[in-house]
């Protein structure tokens, strides 16, 4: 394994913020830490980057224990949420900075910085002062600054959260393209499930300092392991089976009919949302959400009796 977290734990004044986090990440893999705000994602990332010392546990990169290595000698590089660009340096000097600390001669450093700026599409703004750059440009600049030092592990702390929706989607693609091209192992932190599912090879869902589930985006979406994961990612309904166990159903896995086999219920509420119509159906097992594609919609009304067929469901660990 390329990057290993072994039972990382960190407490602040008695409160355990990161609790026994263990994770193996392969070379070139793109992993997302996903969880609600305050669940310890940033703290975990800062422990990998060397800004926070774990109370216990280890961080290994290529098998070497890095837990006590200071940030400035660790082969990791972080894109901070605030970008943390040096306000008193222009774009190219920001990028060249990491090379200059490694005593790369100025001309050579600027040369490589320029290449990196070109890679993120900022070559035209090389001489610009940081505060004159737009949010998206600052984001790219921060990325270029981290990449230029050739880190073994790239750490991204909610890099897209300061951008507007359109730009966020575009940058999500760009980051992934650049990451694939360089083949750099990446840990990305976000509280946005859509972003995590859309960008990651593997998603690590965190809650209150602990890992709830690790899996591909598809796995965590289709087979949520815990109630928390199920409710945090996407929409769906919890139902109680006859044996009393709880399972979780995605709205698109429910088919609605007027009659036939399945769970009988009554439509309580209808929501139109473009490509699908969502029905809320009250049944004996609980309220079911059901998405019907617009072209198949049979226009049920609240109060109509319906039958729900479940095409797939996930059993939850209790």
Partner 1 sequence: MKRSTHDTDSTAASHEEGRSTWGAPLRAWTETGLQWAMLASLVVFILWPIVAVLRVGLIADGAPTLELIHAALTDSRGLLWNSVFVGVAATALTLFIAVNVALWATRSGSRLSKPLFGLLLLTMISPPFVTALSYVMLFGRRGLITHQLLGLSLNPYGWHGVVLMQGIGFTSLAAILLIGVLRGIDGRLEEASLDLGASRTSTIARVTLPLLVPGIAATSLITFVESLADFGTPIIIGGRFTVLATQAYLNFIGISNLPLAAGMAILLLVPSLIAFLLYRHFMGRLTFYTKGTGTTGEPMGLPRWLLVVTGTVTLLFSAFVTLQYVTIVFGAFATTWGVDFTPTLKHIQGLSSTAFASIGRSIRFAMFTAVVGSMLGMIVSYLLERRRFWGRSGLDFIATLPFMIPGPFLGIGYALAFRDAPLALTGTLAIVLLNMIYRQLPVATKAGAAVLSQADPEIEDAARDLGASEHRVITDVVFPQLKPAFLVGFVNTFTAGMVTIGAIIFLITPGTKVATIELFGAVRGGHIGVAAVLANIIMLVTLAVNVTFSWLMLRRGREERGVFDVPATRAIDQVIQSADGGR
Ligand X SMILES: Nc1ncnc2c1ncn2[C@@H]1O[C@H](COP(=O)(O)OP(=O)(O)O)[C@@H](O)[C@H]1O
Positions touching Mg ion (CB under 5 A) are: 42
Q: CA-CA distance, 198 to 274, in Å (whole number)?
A: 21
Torsion of CA 118, 119, 121, 122, to 10 degrees: -50
- Three-state SS at 264: strand
Q: Are 183 and 206 in contact (CB under 8 A)?
A: no
82 touches ligand X (CB under 6 A): no
Q: Of the candidates 41, 125, 188, 313, which one interacts with ligand X according to CB under 6 A?
A: 41
Residue closer to ligand X (CB basis): 38 or 257: 38
Q: Are 34 and 23 in contact (CB under 8 A)?
A: no
Torsion of CA 228, 230, 231, 234, to 10 degrees: 140
Partner from Mg ion, partner 1, ligand X, none binding residue 49, C-beta < 5-8 Å depending on class: partner 1
Ranges within 47-66 binding ligand X (CB under 6 A): none
Partner from ligand X, partner 1, Mg ion, none binding residue 293, C-beta < 5-8 Å depending on class: none
- Which one, of 155, 163, 117, lies nearest residue 139 by Cα? 163
Q: What DSSP character marks residue 37?
A: T
Q: Of the candidates 8, 17, 116, 160, which one interacts with ligand X according to CB under 6 A?
A: 17
Residues in the chain: 318
Residue closer to ligand X (CB basis): 69 or 81: 81
Query: Strand order of the sheet with strand 64-65?
Result: 15-25, 3-12, 56-61, 64-65
Q: Are 294 and 274 in contact (CB under 8 A)?
A: yes
Partner from partner 1, ligand X, Mg ion, none binding residue 14, C-beta < 5-8 Å depending on class: none
Q: Of the candidates 7, 26, 38, 115, which one interacts with ligand X according to CB under 6 A?
A: 38
Q: Of the candidates 15, 64, 102, 260, which one interacts with partner 1 according to CB under 8 A?
A: 102
Residue closer to ligand X (CB basis): 38 or 121: 38
Q: Of the candidates 44, 78, 179, 237, which one interacts with partner 1 according to CB under 8 A?
A: 78
Q: Which residues bind ligand X (CB under 6 A)?
A: 12, 17, 35, 37-43
Q: Which residues bind partner 1 (CB under 8 A)?
A: 12, 46, 49-53, 68-73, 76-78, 80-82, 84-88, 97-98, 101-102, 129, 131, 145-146, 149
């Amino acid at each position: 394994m390329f990057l290993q977290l072994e039972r990382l734990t960190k407490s602040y004044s008695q409160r355990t913020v990161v609790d026994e986090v263990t994770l193996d990440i392969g070379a070139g893999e793109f992993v997302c830490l996903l969880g609600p705000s305050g669940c310890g994602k940033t703290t975990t990332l800062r422990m990998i980057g060397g800004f926070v010392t774990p109370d216990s546990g280890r961080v290994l990169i290529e098998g070497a224990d890095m837990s006590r290595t200071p940030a400035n000698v660790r082969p990791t590089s972080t894109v901070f949420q605030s970008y943390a660009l040096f306000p008193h340096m222009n774009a190219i000097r920001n990028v060249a900075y990491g090379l200059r600390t490694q005593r790369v001669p100025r001309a050579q450093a600027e040369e490589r910085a320029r290449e990196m700026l070109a890679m993120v599409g900022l070559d035209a703004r090389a001489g610009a002062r940081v505060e004159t750059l737009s949010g998206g440009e600052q984001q790219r600049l921060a990325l270029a600054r981290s990449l230029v030092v050739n880190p073994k592990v790239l750490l991204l702390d909610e890099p897209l959260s300061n951008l507007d929706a359109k730009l966020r989607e575009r940058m999500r693609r760009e980051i992934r393209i650049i990451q694939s091209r360089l083949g750099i192992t990446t840990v990305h932190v976000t509280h946005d499930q859509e972003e995590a599912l859309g960008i990651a090879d593997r998603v690590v869902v965190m809650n209150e300092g602990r890992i709830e589930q690790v899996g591909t985006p598809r796995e965590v979406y289709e087979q949520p392991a815990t109630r928390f994961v199920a409710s945090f990612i996407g929409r769906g309904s919890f139902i109680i089976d006859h044996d009393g166990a709880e399972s979780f159903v995605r709205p698109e896995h429910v088919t609605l009919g007027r009659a036939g086999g399945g769970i009988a219920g009554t439509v309580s509420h209808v929501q139109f949302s473009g490509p699908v119509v969502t029905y809320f159906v009250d049944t004996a097992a609980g309220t079911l959400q059901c998405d019907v594609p617009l072209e198949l919609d049979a226009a049920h009304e609240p109060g109509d009796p319906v039958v729900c067929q479940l095409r797939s469901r996930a059993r939850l660990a209790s």
